[in-house]
Amino acid sequence: MPKKALITGITGQDGSYLAELLLEKGYEVHGIIRRASTFNTDRIDHLYRDPHVNGSKLHLHYGDLADGSRITKLLYELKPDEIYNLGAQSHVRVSFDSPEYTGDVTGLSTVRLLEAIREAGLTQDVRYYQASSSEMFGKVQHVPQTEETPFWPRSPYGCAKVFAFWLTVNYREAYNLHASNGILFNHESPRRGETFVTRKITRAATRIKMGLQDKLYLGNLDAQRDWGYAKEYVEVMWLMLQQDKPDDYVCATNETHSVRDFVIETFNLLDLDWEKYVDYDKRYERPSEVDLLIGDPAKLKKQIGWEPKVKFKELVKIMTEADLELAKQEHAYKEATGVNKSF
């Protein structure tokens, strides 16, 4: 019998890479998707549609993390061996506009899932992964950040993630649930949402290169982040659930770079002078900012034997090359039809 995994947030960046990984490992993968008025499964369509790759091993179920009874029903029906809770309102800037919603979906939904595990009688059988975040360190108390660094979140998103983190720890301690937190630092890829800064930069720079866009408007260029590669990081999620004992781990590259560094590296790869194209827009500033993140993944290396291979320069290259391909397709389509169409 193949192992059965349930992924919340399967249509997101990480969910799509994780689904791919688990299907490769022979899992039966179930994902919860939201009903939307337009298609929202672009990132997993290739897995769903190609029967030669994964056939009937990927199953999608409509549901919403705000809907506790639906979650409980799904757990009763599916009885998964592993649950990866990746679903969230994951945009930090948006969390300032919608703090209550973010608290509900990113924070409180963790209770819904954890309680559903208990209600479905799965506490001793299931393994649970919580997508925790370096945003919990916020106004950092130590540099670099480790599992021991105290949290000081700086956004409603960060606060919701702290709540979810401690709930995960609490259910581990109170009910002996195999529940682990991956404290993942920023991780990016060609599948990154286009409003996160890295993808916004690579998308805009490549479109500028192809004559499809004139300017790139950004907020704070001084913020520093520890950026890794999403396709690699999802392996850590899986590895954490294969350990005998549940635990919490920082996953990071131990390098930090500013948003400005990311801009310069991208525009240099395309032979463009960034200062001609990048302008400031205060709308992208946050009411309170996280200035510096850099994670020390020593525990992950020591206990699980994992370390990242892709670092900053290679990551920028992977993303820029992928977005240049998209910009070329967009350019060709425009030449042929006179119509602007985003690919």
**Does the active-site annotation cover 135?**
yes
Q: Which is nearer to ligand F7E, 80 or 87 (CB)?
A: 87
Q: Which is nearer to ligand NAP, 123 or 186 (CB)?
A: 186
Should residue 286 be labelled a site residue for ligand F7E when binding is judged by CB under 6 A? yes
* Residue recorded with tokens 């998209």: 326
Should residue 218 be labelled a site residue for ligand F7E when binding is judged by CB under 6 A? yes
Q: Which is nearer to ligand NAP, 186 or 206 (CB)?
A: 186
Should residue 90 be labelled a site residue for ligand NAP when binding is judged by CB under 6 A? yes
197 binds, among ligand NAP, ligand F7E, none (CB under 5 to 8 A by kind): ligand F7E
- What 3-state DSSP class applies to 151? coil
**Does the active-site annotation cover 157?**
yes
Cα gap 110→68, rounded to integer Å:
10
Q: Which two tokens stand for residue 260?
A: 């400005």
9 binds, among ligand F7E, ligand NAP, none (CB under 5 to 8 A by kind): ligand NAP
Residue 35 has φ and ψ, to the nearest 5°, of -75, 130
- What 3-state DSSP class applies to 28? strand
Q: Which of 231, 253, 249 is nearest to 240 (CA)?
A: 249
Which listed residue (259, 263, 269, 315) binds ligand F7E by CB under 6 A? Answer: 259
Q: Please list every residue from 251 through 290 that binds ligand NAP, using CB under 6 A.
A: none
Q: Which is nearer to ligand F7E, 29 or 216 (CB)?
A: 216
Contact (CB, 8 A) for 277 and 215: yes
**Does the active-site annotation cover 133?**
yes
Should residue 236 be labelled a site residue for ligand NAP when binding is judged by CB under 6 A? no
Per-residue DSSP letters for 74-86?
A: HHHHH--SEEEE-
Residue 82 has φ and ψ, to the nearest 5°, of -135, 140
* Shortest separation between residue 276's beta carbon and ligand F7E, angstroms: 18
Q: Which of 245, 244, 265 is nearest to 255 (CA)?
A: 265
* Binding window for ligand NAP (CB under 6 A); candidates: 4-12, 46-54, 139-147, 212-220: 4-12
6 binds, among ligand NAP, ligand F7E, none (CB under 5 to 8 A by kind): none
225 binds, among ligand NAP, ligand F7E, none (CB under 5 to 8 A by kind): ligand F7E
Cα gap 114→72, rounded to integer Å:
9
* Binding window for ligand NAP (CB under 6 A); candidates: 86-94, 116-124, 169-177, 311-319: 86-94
Should residue 284 be labelled a site residue for ligand F7E when binding is judged by CB under 6 A? yes
Cβ-count burial of 181 within 10 angstroms (0-12 exposed, 13-18 middle, 19+ buried)? buried
- Under DSSP, the state recorded for 180 is E
Contact (CB, 8 A) for 295 and 253: yes
Which run of H or of E encompasses 61?
Answer: strand 58-62
- Judged by the rule CB under 6 A, the positions of this chain that interact with ligand F7E are 90, 92-93, 133-135, 185-186, 195-198, 200, 218-220, 223, 225, 259, 284, 286, 289-290
Task: Indicate which residues carry an active-site annotation.
Answer: 133, 135, 157
